[in-house]
Amino acid sequence: MRGDKFTKRAMEEGYLARSIFKIRNIQNRYHVIKKGNYVLDLGAAPGSWSQYVLEMGAHVDAVDVFKVKYGNWIKTDVLEDSIFDILERKYDVVLSDLAPRTTGIKHLDVERSIGLSQRALEIAKAKLKKRGNFVCKVFQGEDFKLFFEEMKENFIVVRSMRPMATRKRSREIYLIGLGKK
Ligand SMILES: C[S@@+](CC[C@H](N)C(=O)[O-])C[C@H]1O[C@@H](n2cnc3c(N)ncnc32)[C@H](O)[C@@H]1O
């Protein structure tokens, strides 16, 4: 929905997208990002999360097929195998706000959304430093419990949060993995 109160506020505060309020909400509660951290932002376009990461005094590699205006844009599809070689370093924090372009065909959209969360977790497993933090958008459907269990296997603490700016009808939630094992 264009022009809702979060979109207006984002524009007034000089951010590219209303999603800024989600990461800010998560950061205020869990302090996932610290000054000087190396952060990987998956599904970063147009770039409000990356913009926020830079404001925190951290570095950001911003992955998306579309142009990301802030940080170091890595133009690639996360589903390509090459992603593991393209990302050369390890990160203190991995963020994923990946979302498929919706088709309107419900089961297909849900399936793609789950696939992207699983991919983000795979990338986090490979590219996060030990004790690193992970934030991942997840669709709350049948596979949610399994995904949550896998998060618990990989992180010391796992929390879930539905930030204020999440649209009412949306079934998305964010999982926060603190301290990679
Ligand atoms: C909700 S938007 C992210 C908004 C962003 N956090 C911000 O604050 O500006 C989701 C993004 O995921 C990206 N995306 C979806 N599938 C992708 C894929 N397979 N590889 C790379 N990016 C993908 C989309 O292009 C889109 O830009």
Instruction: Please tell me if the CB atom of residue 41 comes closer than 6 angstroms to any atom of ligand 1.
Output: no
Question: Distance, CA 161 to ligand 1 centroid (Å)?
Answer: 19
Instruction: Please tell me if the CB atom of residue 163 comes closer than 6 angstroms to any atom of ligand 1.
Output: no
Question: Distance, CA 66 to ligand 1 centroid (Å)?
Answer: 8
What is the extent of the structural domain holding 52? 5-180
Instruction: Please tell me if the CB atom of residue 120 comes closer than 6 angstroms to any atom of ligand 1.
Output: no
CATH no. for residue 49?
Answer: 3.40.50.150
**How many angstroms separate the Cα of 90 from the Cα of each of 39, 156, 181?**
9, 19, 14
Question: Distance, CA 62 to ligand 1 centroid (Å)?
Answer: 10
**How many angstroms separate the Cα of 145 from the Cα of each of 49, 104, 114, 118, 152?**
26, 24, 12, 13, 11
Q: How confident is the model at residue 142 (pLDDT cuts 50, 70, 90)?
A: confident
Average pLDDT of the chain to the nearest whole number: 94
Q: How confident is the model at residue 4 (pLDDT cuts 50, 70, 90)?
A: confident
pLDDT digits (tens, 9 = 90+) for 21-55: 999 999 999 999 999 999 999 999 999 999 999 99
Domain count of the fold of the chain: 1
